[in-house]
Amino acid sequence: MFFLQQCLIGLTNGALVALVALGYTMVYGIIGLINFAHGDLIMLGACLALTLVGALGIAAGGGAATWAGVAALVLLCGLFCGGLNVAVDRIVYKPLRNAPKLAPLVSAIGVSFIFMNAGLFWLGPADRSFPDLVPSTNLLAHDGLQFTLKDLLVVLVVVPLMVGLSLLVRTTRLGKAMRAVSQDPVAAALVGVDVDRVIAATFFIGGFLGGAASVIYGLYINTIGFQMGFQNGLYAFTAAVLGGIGSIPGAVLGGLVIGLVRALSSAYVGERWTGAIVFAILIVILVFRPEGLLGRRTREKV
């Protein structure tokens, strides 16, 4: 039963990691950039969420009103992070599109620091507690096993977003254009695809998912701080690499695996070993499958 409980915790946490990992993997898939600023973008989303809780007067225990408030938070923070991500692409990465790969990468690290400073300004240096709008009421009629309202919240936000993303990428015109651009941007432009707009859309979607993740993070973990972007970004990036960077299902699988490993190693080995274990597993997997769990073995780059 204890084991099952840890798995549940791991999967819920993993779903959150996966949501962030998608932002890394989508941007990498479309322009080959590891967007180091993604974790800090999510930190800024959490800042906005905290501000909005106060501004909109969202209170706990309000039933429908609370849930509507949470939905508004997810939407607004999603739009905010999506928009910010697009703006950064326009201003910073787009002029560097034809520059050597290292230039946008270093710029992304720069953006990460700028975001972190903005977060420091916004939140102050100390960690802030995030209102416990969704209580940890157990939904299972079982004492040994807990699946709380908070866990349900994660599932309710993450699953529809992932299903929506998958449908968008597989079936819509934009999705087809996104896949085409990721495979050959020149050929895509030759058939009339506006490559810059498709890239902007990808940044927006990745940012939107990150913004949604930032709200859930606040509600689930209940503590936010200006440095939260680094560690969370690192785990999510690891998840994306583990799953095969550039692969959307890979990011989801990688996120779930990392969540599980973190939960199980915290439970059975000890909290302070978690980081070491996660990265040891990453290294082992990459030694045997350098392309990640669901990544492509060969890169047919023209």
Cβ of residue 47: shortest distance to other proteins, in angstroms?
37
Instruction: Return the number of the residue (99 or 280) whose C-beta is nearest other proteins.
Output: 99
Largest CA distance in the chain: 61
The position carrying tokens 């082992």 is 284
- Give the DSSP H or E segment for 99: none
Instruction: Return the number of the residue (173 or 272) whose C-beta is nearest other proteins.
Output: 173
Cβ of residue 171: shortest distance to other proteins, in angstroms?
11
- Beta strand segments in 14-129, E: 128-129
Question: Cα separation of 241 and 263, whole Å?
Answer: 19
Contact 156, 246 (CB under 8 A): no
Residues at the contact surface with other proteins, assessed by CB under 8 A:
173, 176-177, 179-180, 183-184, 186-195, 296, 300, 302
CA gyration radius for the chain?
19
Cβ of residue 288: shortest distance to other proteins, in angstroms?
23
Cβ of residue 250: shortest distance to other proteins, in angstroms?
14
Instruction: Return the number of the residue (103 or 189) whose C-beta is nearest other proteins.
Output: 189
Instruction: Return the number of the residue (190 or 287) whose C-beta is nearest other proteins.
Output: 190
The DSSP secondary structure of 289-301, one letter per residue, reads -TT-SSS-SS---
Cβ of residue 180: shortest distance to other proteins, in angstroms?
5
Instruction: Return the number of the residue (272 or 299) whose C-beta is nearest other proteins.
Output: 299
Structure tokens at 270: 């000890």
- Give the DSSP H or E segment for 42: helix 38-56
One-letter amino acid at 279 equals F
